[in-house]
Amino acid sequence: MSRIGKLPIPLASGVEIKVSDKNLVTVKGPKGELTQQVDQDMQISVEDGVLTINRPTDQKRHRAMHGLYRSLLNNMVIGVHEGYKIELQLIGVGYRAANTGQLLELQLGYSHPIMFYIPDEVKVTTEMTKGQPPAIILESTDKQLIGQIAAKIRAFRKPEPYKGKGILFKGEEIRRKAGKTAGK
C-alpha cells in the first residue's frame, strides 16, 4: 500500500467535494473552485468529512497513480480552504519589479524591461520597501499553477553563486563560491 496514497484527506469546514461518474473531482471552498480528472481505475469516496482514494490492484501503474492523485486532491483541498502564497525577492543593483493589474514589469539588468503576463487565477503584488530588496508576491488556490509561474519568473534571472544576484524565493540560501584569485 502506498504510504501517501492510503492517508485520508480531512475536509475542512466550508469545503465541498463533488465526484462525477467519470471521476471528475470538483472541490469548492471559500477561496475558489478547482477541478481535476482522476484516473478511471481509482475509487474515490467521501464519508464523514474525510476523502479517501483506493486502488483496485497492486500493479505498478495503480501504485503510482494512488499516491499521485491523493497528493493532487490534498493540494486542491488546502488551496480552496487556505490558498498558496509564494514570495520572490530580486537581489541586485537596479533590479525592480512593478505590476499594473496582471502585467508584471521586471528590470533585471538587461538592456530592456521584461514584461510578463500573469494568468487571472494568480493574484500578483509587488513591494518596493526602502532597505529591503524588491519583492513579488504570488497568491492562488492552484498549487501547480502558482509554482509554474514562480519558476518562470525565476528563470528570467537565476541566482548566481559568485555575487548572489538574481531572483530568489524568500528565505532561500545560495551556496556562494569563491572567485578566482590572482596567480603569481
Give the model confidence (pLDDT) of 21-43 as tens digits.
888 999 999 999 999 999 888 89
Mean pLDDT of 4-13: 88
Mean pLDDT, rounded, for 119-146:
94
Look-up: residue for cell 538574481? 166
Answer whether residue 6 shows pLDDT above 90: no
Give the model's pLDDT for residue 21: 83
3-class SS of residue 64: helix
Roughly what angle, to the nearest 10 degrees, separates helices 143-155 and 60-81? 90
Give me the pLDDT at residue 3, please. 84
Domains (range + CATH), the chain = 9-81 (3.90.930.12), 84-169 (3.90.930.12)
* 39-70 residue pLDDT tens: 888 899 888 889 999 989 988 989 889 999 99
